[in-house]
Amino acid sequence: MTEKVLFVIFAVLAVAGGIAAVTRRNVVHGLLFLVFTFLNVAAIFFLTQAYFLAVVQIVVYAGAIMVLFVFVIMLLNLRTFEQEEQTHRRQRWLALALSVLVLAEFVIVLAGVTFTSARGGFTPEAIAEAGGGTKVFGEALFNNMLLPFEVASVVLLAAMVGAIILVKREKTAGGATRSWEPGEEPTPEAVEEEV
């Protein structure tokens, strides 16, 4: 019973934080609401007894990824965008209506479906007996999913290299920086010069 009450509280807070995150005009405020949502999701992982994932959710998501966002937002000066139009003028009401419709569809489908547990055997008692959630989790990960795990490391390496290449300052062959200022349209002559 306690778990159900806590679940409802965290779920409502998570959804409210999510709604706040995508509606804020100020990007930093939206980011903080997003971190709030992630912390609530971590609490739900705790309630589900996925302790390792709850900690990873806090450390990696709310910690590392969101700090990366904060750094980039602070590097770019985004205050000027708060005065601009925040939504797509032509599609916002249609998009909102369609979203509500899809949510209603989800609810209708979920209300009519019944799931049967596969009884995989990893009950909380069995996990506690086998040496704790993190140990069992790690054994399952490295026994069944070793190859995907290694592939994920390659994906992360590719993303890292790609991110560095994307933000590297462009240089011409002679080592000079490019001949037009960022933000203004390059003149055809400048483009030709660079090529």
Partner 1 sequence: MGATPADMPIPVDWYLYLSAALFIVGAAGMLIRRNLFILLFSLELMLNAVNINLVGFSRFHEDLVGQNFVIFVMAIAAAEAAVGLAIATALFRNRRTLMVDLFDRMRG
Q: Does residue 194 bind partner 1 (CB under 8 A)?
A: no
Handedness of CA 94, 95, 100, 102 (dihedral sign): positive
Q: Does residue 132 bind partner 1 (CB under 8 A)?
A: no
Residues 2-31 as x/- pattern, contact with partner 1 by CB under 8 A:
-xx--xx--x--xx--xx-xxx---x--xx
Under rule CB under 8 A, which residues in 148-167 are in contact with partner 1? 148-149, 152, 155-156, 158-160, 162-164, 166-167
Distance CA 144, CA 138 (A): 10
Q: Does residue 147 bind partner 1 (CB under 8 A)?
A: no
CB 27 within 8 A of CB 84: no
CA distances, 7 to each of 118, 135, 188 (Å) = 23, 26, 60
Q: Does residue 32 bind partner 1 (CB under 8 A)?
A: no
Under rule CB under 8 A, which residues in 167-186 are in contact with partner 1? 167, 182-183
* Torsion angle of C-alpha atoms 85, 91, 97, 100, degrees rounded to 10: -70
Under rule CB under 8 A, which residues in 59-118 are in contact with partner 1? 60-61, 64-65, 68-69, 72-73, 75-76, 78, 81, 84-88, 91-92, 95-96, 98-100, 102-103, 106-107, 110, 113-118
Nearer Cβ to partner 1 (160/176): 160
CB 174 within 8 A of CB 182: no
CB of 170 to partner 1, least distance (A): 9
Let me know if 76 is exposed, middle or buried by CB neighbors in 10 A (0-12, 13-18, 19+): exposed
